[in-house]
Structure 1
């Protein structure tokens, strides 16, 4: 099975722009899923977590590059082969 990685702009100083980008990215991911393809949408998955972190003043957004370097291969293997 092929897994598509959906990359979209996300970060911005204007919160409305961030929300718009999240919504559009998530809509695109949904269309890809509905077409029968597997997709990994990092923004769709991380935005809700970032919202909780910010609401609870626990720190800054998730640092995906660090997490991705450490776990991307494992995550993708899990998503693609299990």
Structure 2
């Protein structure tokens, strides 16, 4: 139950615009890896698909080297 509670808190923070880019990408990596991205409200699945399509996440829910480079660029 602990991890689900953490995901719920992260989802509420995401909806409230409180996550930075790294936290957002990590949230979507978790959602894809767990399969939740495909069962939640449609915009989560669409966003996950876009992150996979752009090469920032793998279909298995891992942040790619391109995703890491993007995060480094926005942090600079």
TM-score normalised to the size of structure 2? 0.41
Where is the helix percentage greater, Structure 1 or Structure 2?
2
Q: Which structure: larger Rg?
A: 1
Greater RCO, 1 or 2 (C-alpha within 8 Å, sep 6+): 1
TM-score normalised to the size of structure 1? 0.39
